[in-house]
Amino acid sequence: MHSASVAPQPIEYTAAFAPRPSLTHVLFDFDGTLSLIREGWPNVMVPMFLEMIPSRAGETEERLRQLLTDDILRLNGKQTIYQMIQFAERVQERGGTPKEPLWYKHEYLRRLNERIQDRLGDLKSGRKKPGDFLVHGSRPLLESLRARGLTLYLASGTDEVFVKQEADLLQVTEFFGPHIYGAKDDYKAFSKAMIIDKILRDHGVPGAQLLAFGDGYVEIQNTKQVGGMAIAVASDEAHNGSGQVDPWKRERLLGVGADAVIPDYRDAESLLGRILNR
């Protein structure tokens, strides 16, 4: 844990930030934005890729690890299959014969499942509470948004079946009702951009009425593309509640146009007050 002497970092508002009292719909990413059940997933994906990729003469493991990490994090927020497609291309360009991206995905999920099995078991048995695996302040934020009459959506690059199970275990399903979406086997049938499009179309609202919270490129970028407001959740997943911003997330999410950066939801009331002007 970070030492208590390190003060929590305040909300960082960008020059582009302006209140949006007319917001009606809110989109949340799941892993890293609300849920910490899958915390540490890059520590499963990167070693697996390192194990399976042909190395080049004179290439250090550190250099290769950096390349693979950048590939993975650039696609964070998209469905897992896209990271596997990118990896298969890397294997091919190095003269290897890649397996099907779906094979890589299944092998990654098998390894990740081994890592998170205890967490799921602890939640199911009650040994751990939902709050132990929710980004600090998540529940009060969701309650506050609901109390203000906003409609909440959840969209994740993780397979929908797992997202729904994990949302149930974290006791947040009630905030989203039927609006929980995740990756499908037919990966072209789902994307966050499609969900955003569906929200705007179904409710006949302009993009300016959409607010998004996310810790990945994709949801921030897609929201800004339709004229919505995007809050970067630069969560320090390994030290939940530290109040510290993850510098890598911060830099990347500001780069795709985030309106504000937060470490977690400790200052949610102040943030919502500024956004909604009420």
**How confident is the model at residue 185, as a pLDDT?**
85
Q: Which residues of the chain have pLDDT under 70?
A: 1-5
**How confident is the model at residue 278, as a pLDDT?**
73
**Residues 143-181, buried b or exposed e (16+ Cβ, 10 A)?**
ebbeeeebbbbbbbbbbbebbbebbebbebbebbeebbb
Mind listing the domains of the chain with CATH numbers?
Answer: 12-37+130-276 (3.40.50.1000), 42-125 (no CATH)
What pLDDT digit, counting tens, does each position of 61-73 carry? 999 999 999 999 8
What pLDDT digit, counting tens, does each position of 132-158 carry? 999 999 999 999 999 999 999 999 999
**How confident is the model at residue 4, as a pLDDT?**
52
